[in-house]
Structure 1
Amino acid sequence: MTNRIRQLPAQLVNQIAAGEVVERPASVAKELIENSLDAGADRIEIDAERGGIKLLRVRDNGEGIAREDLALALRRHATSKIAEVADLQSIATLGFRGEALPSIASVSRLELSSRHRDADQAWCIRGDGSDQPGEPVPASHPVGTTVQVRDLFYNTPARRKFLRTDKTELSHLEQLVRRVALARCDVRFRLTHNGRLLFDLSPVAGEGGTAGNRLKELVGAGFPEHALTLDQTAVGMRLHGWVASPGFSRSQSDLQFFYVNGRMVRDKLVAHAVRLAYQDVLHQGRHPAYVLYLELPPVLVDINVHPAKHEVRFREGRQVHDFIFRALHRRLAEGRTQAGPAPAEAPPVATGMPDLGSARSMPEDPGPRQRPMPLRVAEGPDRYRSDFESQRPGSSRDADTGQENGADAGLPPLGYALAQLQGVYILAQAVDGLVIVDMHAAHERIGYERLKRSWEEGAIRGQPLLVPVMVQVAPWEADLAESNLELFRRLGVGLDRMGEGSLVVREIPALLQGADAERLLRDLLSDFAVHGRSERIREEINGVLATLACHRSVRANRRLEPEEMNALLRDLERTERADQCNHGRPTWIKLSGQELDRLFLRGR
């Protein structure tokens, strides 16, 4: 006979709930800090001992809790942030479940002290996880709240065994505070561990102050130096913040901070949109770095899908995905060198590669030889020659002061070529320093973008297979394919359904001739099932185009004339995603005048 159904004791219920909310000291800190922010605090102090296992104290200067509400604060599902079902549709606070404090109290020794802003007296209450906490007692405390959590998991040894070393737990705690501090730059955060101050972050006003202060302190000085600012608005949504240029990619995803309406989240849809935007400019296996804030009406996002509120669900997921992708894709395409669209008089190139007709091969070149591969020059050679001549010593800089005069005022972003180094690099003088360009990487990116434009203008053409390929799939996959036949056709894939779980591939994109048709179909079905769309064909085609661009770009030990080098610089300025080649390598770097002065100890 099975056991009878029984009501669980309140403390056991709270401990079960704690398993959903409390994983480690950092998760306790997250809940307490979010409560402080919801209370309107602009100063939050976090003190920890032994990584937060022995002690975690969070003190704020928020509005505080009234005496009559202290006992309610330690009961399950008691909250001041929602009152009825309709409130769940537009939650604007970080916390709302009313589970955090009782859950934490059930697995620790918790003490809650608070003074409401309208009260003359502070009160303190201790929790043990039951539904009947003790009575509040008078306490000495300024306006605000302090929650002190001691001996985490002291009464649940099995859970305590899963905690890591003090150093590891402190690392998680630091990362948590860092993430919250990046979301609320108007709040002062102070973190100490075992009595030692780890950081004290003063509040900063506006996003400009954030970039210069919080980013450097919390993400590192390298990120702001490589960050591209972003601020895009569309369809009632706003995406703003900073994305690092692809050259600042990471081996791990440790510098990825994404916030939805001020809430830090880890979302697969967002991650996919970001990865898609970076796919053309990163080395394989590298991860982008970013600090991004997405703002949209609360009614369009459901934050009540995860007990710890790490995940969200968007009402219009496809629209959010496309907005994030397009905003990032556009900003990365602009890069740091965009000088506007190519001149109208520049004729289109059918093959997507530069015209080949004016370069001169180097006579008696002892190095490797290649067939002529001239660069397209939209302006006449005389234009570049005059600009080049204007940079000769004495023409553009004052010999005594070293300051730029009017001759430099009109220099383009990458300047004008001075020389070619080792048959590999172009040295150019810009307004603010020396630009060094890898001519092969630069030409490769230029050619690749032109090939992509030519391919897109010609649409994706299908190539019938000599022998159709039969693919056995699950019935739901066959249904998915059948309902998207027109979309497959636009991607250059022709197929038919032959049975409940059978599909036959009759056509694949012409540029992917020889590809594994079955693998391609299965990958496409997987993409459609997860994301409702697929960029698989574009990725495969881009891979082929990248190979073509690499083989057709100018090689090392190739001597270029000044007008050819300048033509390459101008084309690079007009090319999207020009800062990296197709393999993620930088196409150019710049040494500022100050950096050059430091190298030669000038001014010391």
Structure 2
Amino acid sequence: MSTIKLLPDGLISQIAAGEVVERPASVLKELMENSIDAGATEISVEIHQGGFKQIRVTDNGTGVAAEELPLALMRHATSKIGSQEDLQNITSLGFRGEGLASIASVSNLSLISRHLTGEHAWQIRTEGTRLLPVEPAAHTVGTTVEVSDLFFNLPARRKFLKTESTEFAHCEAVFQRIALSHPGVTFRLQRNGKLRGHYPASEIRSRISAILGEEFTQAAICFDEPSAGLSLCGMLALPAYSRATSDTQYFFVNGRFIRDKLVTHALREGYRDILHHDRHAAFVLYFDIEPGQIDVNVHPTKIEIRFRESRAIHQFIYHAVSKTLASQHGLDTNVPMTPKPLSSIPLSQTGEQQQTADHQPAQHSFKGSYYRQQSLPIRTIAQSPSPFYETLFGNKSEAAAIRDDNPPAQEQAAPPLGFAIGQLHGIYLLAQNTKGLILVDMHAAHERIVYEQLKASLDQHKLAVQRLLIPVTFHADSLDIATVEESQQLLQNLGFEIAMLSATSLVIRTIPAMLQGANIEKLTRDVLQEIREGDPKLLLTAQHNELLATMACHSAVRANRQLTLAEMNALLRQMEQTDRADQCNHGRPTWFEISLAELDKMFMRGK
């Protein structure tokens, strides 16, 4: 028979630490937020061995009095709130009284502080759950917290952590988020004794430029949208700067970095119709609101909040973003008062929007300007084959043979997918066979072909590489650089030669020859993301295929690409020879057949 009993304080603290302290970056977040709440204008961070060995945060804030040092390391002890009314009107970043206590329960912690009214500093230390006596120490006004041997008493938790480079990259991401949220504070970051970041106090735009780079600030719009009790300001990147991931999305509410579904939806709606569906907007936004209008007591990590007037907030953010982006492009700034719900689908698309929807099903509509075409949408271009065509067949002689010997379809025994007769909107290939009409999604079909070719080449260790005449360099964050450092062998197996050019940039020297027509920077970023987010144990098996699928998608012929008849026929013949060519790598169909009988029925022939 089980019995109910009280848990020991040490075990309670370790259980609570599981919610607050996930990795070294979680520790850094708690310590830096404490420094901000203490009114610090200068914060220095030192990280050793990715935060496993040591994290030290020093600030020039108000400090902690000697008699309060033991309380600072006890659970549910805080100077930031004292009543239920305070909980409804939180202005500080921390308030739960769990951060330091949770950290101390899973590490060896030292806290040295001198209060602004104190004559000298005092120190308190812990060893796991054991609290040592307060001792005199040397320190200027402010506080230094040193966390050593994280998770030394929880080896199971430590096994879940990544490598030193990856954990430092997460720490640096936290450091940069807090530096972005408080541009008036000076920040310094050191890694293993070497300076990795120094951001002097500045105005918002300078701080954003220092952290995200000039490329972002040059592609972004500065704006400030005030309203009654609300304010939204910051920088919105134009659609041309869209990213493959949401890593460059920073939204701060009263100085607190948050991730919120309502905010995400409002921002996505603001970018609607000007951003491709599989791309992510980039922005740094600062939202100010009365503290009583939000609830930050939602989760121990304090990264989630609730808005008391959620609909009004959604509308305000949506309109502010829509108006700013529309004015930049000279569009109509009279944004409809109610954005479409998350699940809605537009009834029609312009020709340009439709031509960019490589992975989006066609929308069938007889309304709007969808059918107002300026030129004949079916194209049959007779010209020399392009590199795309040569890539399909592998050599120029065979391509030339097909080009020169391509009699009309009716004079040949038509193969299963027939012979090409034209293109529709630069998206679909039209062909006729003995049964009727064939419609092919060019991108989806080519994607499957390239994917299977990449798999076969990799399996046979015959993946050809192309050395770039001019190496491609691009700005990279710490996670990308860490991924390159840790995955060199895997990248080489995939045909990539990537090296670190500086602390913030990577250089690409070789790529798989089959992908030479792709956007190299975007392809590389997506491959690095796939590697980073995957399970390392599967990198030699299942995840290889996911990486190859990502690579194939980038190299497949894009929408609005005009092909010659010879190129179209080459694509059809390759489809007939490729396994699983009926679906693309994402499970979408690549072609449909409409029989003559079905066509006759549509037009009521024979009745």
TM-score by length of 2: 0.57
| Partner of residue 69, structure 2 | 70
State the one-letter code of the partner of 1:224: T
| Cα distance in 2 for residues equivalent to 1:245 and 1:555 | 30
Which residue in 1 is equivalent to 2:28? 29
- Asked whether the 8 Å contact 2:108–2:126 carries over to 1, the reply is yes
Aligned residue in 1 for 2:194: 196
Match of 1:239 among 229, 232, 237: 232
Distance 1:25 1:171 in 2: 10
* Aligned-partner SS, 2:187: strand
Residue of structure 2 equivalent to 1:552: 372
User: Residue 174 of structure 2 corresponds to which residue in structure 1?
Assistant: 176
- Residue 234 of structure 1 deviates from its aligned partner by 2.3
- Report what 2:139 is aligned to: 141
| 1:317-336 paired onto structure 2 within 5 Å | 317-336=310-329
**Shift of residue 202, structure 1, vs aligned partner:** 0.4
Matching residue of 2:13? 14
Unaligned ranges ≥5, structure 2:
355-367, 378-426, 428-607
1:286 equivalent among 276, 279, 292: 279
Per-residue CA shift, 1:33-60, capped at 9, x if unaligned? 0000000000000000111111100000
Bigger relative CO (Cα 8 Å, ≥ 6 apart): 1
* 8 Å Cα contact 2:296/2:302 also seen in 1: yes
Question: Aligned residues: percent identity?
Answer: 47
In structure 2, what residue type is equivalent to 1:12? L
Q: Is the 8 A contact 2:243 2:282 kept in 1?
A: yes
Instruction: Supply the AA of the counterpart residue of 1:552.
Output: R
Deviation at 1:542, TM superposition (A): 5.0
Q: In the TM superposition, what whole-angstrom CA distance separates every residue of 1:478-513 from its partner, at most 9, and x where no partner exists?
A: xxxxxxxxxxxxx9xxxxxxxxxxxxxxxxxxxxxx
**Which runs of no fewer than 5 residues in structure 1 stay unpaired?**
342-448, 458-490, 492-530, 558-582, 584-604
Which aligned pairs between 1:530-569 and structure 2 lie closer than 5 A? 534=341, 536-537=343-344, 539-542=346-349, 549=369, 552=372, 554=374
- Cα distance in structure 2, aligned partners of 1:543 and 1:168: 43
CA contact (8 A) 1:109 1:127 kept: yes
Q: Which runs of 4+ in 1 moved over 6 A?
A: none
State the AA in 2 paired with 1:540: L
Q: Do 2:265 and 2:342's aligned partners in 1 also have CA atoms closer than 8 Å?
A: no
Cα deviation for residue 535 of structure 1 reads 5.7
Which of 220, 245, 263 aligns to 1:227? It is 220
Report 1:158-177 matches (<5 A). 158-177=156-175
Q: Which residue of 229, 250, 255 corresponds with 1:257?
A: 250
Do the aligned partners of 1:15 and 1:103 also contact (CA within 8 Å) in 2? yes
Give the alignment of 1:78-477 within 5 angstroms: 78-130=77-129, 133-204=131-202, 209-211=203-205, 213-337=206-330
- Cross-structure match for 1:5: 4
Q: Is the CA contact (8 Å cut-off) linking 2:350 and 2:369 kept in structure 1?
A: no
Q: Closer, same or farther in 2 for the Cα pair 1:122/1:227, shift >3 Å? A: same
Distance 2:297 2:350 in 1: 40
Question: The residue matched to 1:113 in structure 2 has which SS?
Answer: strand
Q: What are the superposed Cα offsets for residues 379-429 of structure 1, whole Å, 9 maximum, x if unpaired?
A: xxxxxxxxxxxxxxxxxxxxxxxxxxxxxxxxxxxxxxxxxxxxxxxxxxx
Look up the SS of the partner of 2:101 in the other structure.
helix
* Distance change >3 Å, CA 145–CA 275, structure 1 → 2: same
Q: What's the offset of the Cα at 1:5?
A: 1.1
Aligned positions, number = 365
Taking the aligned partners of 1:154 and 1:94, their CA distance within structure 2 comes to 28
Aligned counterparts of 2:319 and 2:267: Cα–Cα separation in 1: 10
- The Cα shift of 1:541 comes to 4.2
How far residue 283 of structure 1 moved from its aligned partner, in angstroms, is: 1.4
Find the residue that maps to 2:57 and give its secondary structure.
strand
Contact (CA 8 Å) 2:47, 2:192: kept in 1 or not? yes
**Contact kept? 2:349, 2:370, Cα under 8 Å:** no
Report how far residue 556 of structure 1 moved: 11
Whether the 8 Å CA contact 1:71–1:134 is kept in 2: the answer is: no
Match of 1:94, SS state, is coil
Query: In 2, distance between residues paired with 1:299 and 1:555?
Result: 58
CA contact (8 A) 2:41 2:185 kept: yes
Give, in whole Å, the separation in 1 of the partners of 2:87 and 2:351: 49
> Which secondary structure does the structure 2 equivalent of 1:90 belong to?
coil
2:266 maps to a residue whose letter is A
Task: Render the CA deviation track for 1:132-163: whole Å, top value 9, x for unaligned.
Answer: 72221000111100000001000000100011
TM-score (norm 1): 0.58
User: What's the CA shift for 1:210?
Assistant: 2.5
Q: Aligned partners of 2:375 and 2:27: how far apart in 1? A: 57
Query: In 2, Cα distance between the equivalents of 1:215 and 1:244?
Result: 12
Contact 2:350–2:370, Cα closer than 8 Å, also in 1: no
